[in-house]
Amino acid sequence: DTGVSQDPRHKITKRGQNVTFRCDPISEHNRLYWYRQTLGQGPEFLTYFQNEAQLEKSRLLSDRFSAERPKGSFSTLEIQRTEQGDSAMYLCASSFIRGYEQYFGPGTRLTVT
């Protein structure tokens, strides 16, 4: 399978704990995006990388959120001191630099209790 992969697929955590998600993009895709989707809503953009550089961050990305893509391949999204409002599906997508299409992974569903 050469699609976008995400790990874990599900995460249950207690409020106040830190969580980290991983995304592996389609190989050779230079751009990597993170989105968040809450129940009954469309995905909302969080941030994107071009290679290892984080080029855009949405206002949704509070100080408790940090994303990295250290070697320009996989990326991690960390949420510190989780809150119940962080419960959502976190989606990763990737594309070529000159590509119009963004391909999404299966998502990581986070539940904060």
Partner 1 sequence: GEDVEQSLFLSVREGDSSVINCTYTDSSSTYLYWYKQEPGAGLQLLTYIFSNMDMKQDQRLTVLLNKKDKHLSLRIADTQTGDSAIYFCAERSNSGYALNFGKGTSLLVTP
DSSP states along 8-69: -SEEEE-TT--EEEEEEPPTT--EEEEEEE-TTS--EEEEEEETTEEEEE-TTS-TTEEEE-
Interface with partner 1, residue 88, by CB under 8 A: no
CA distance 64 to 94: 23
Residue of the chain from 18, 44, 51, 111 that contacts partner 1 (CB under 8 A): 44
Give 66 or 103: the residue with its C-beta nearer to partner 1: 103
Interface with partner 1, residue 42, by CB under 8 A: yes
Interface with partner 1, residue 61, by CB under 8 A: no
Interface with partner 1, residue 2, by CB under 8 A: no
Interface with partner 1, residue 105, by CB under 8 A: yes
Of 102, 82, 62, 86, the closest CA to residue 16 belongs to 82
> Which residue ranges make up the site for partner 1 (CB under 8 A)?
4, 6, 31, 33, 35, 40-45, 48, 56, 58, 91, 93, 95, 100-107, 109
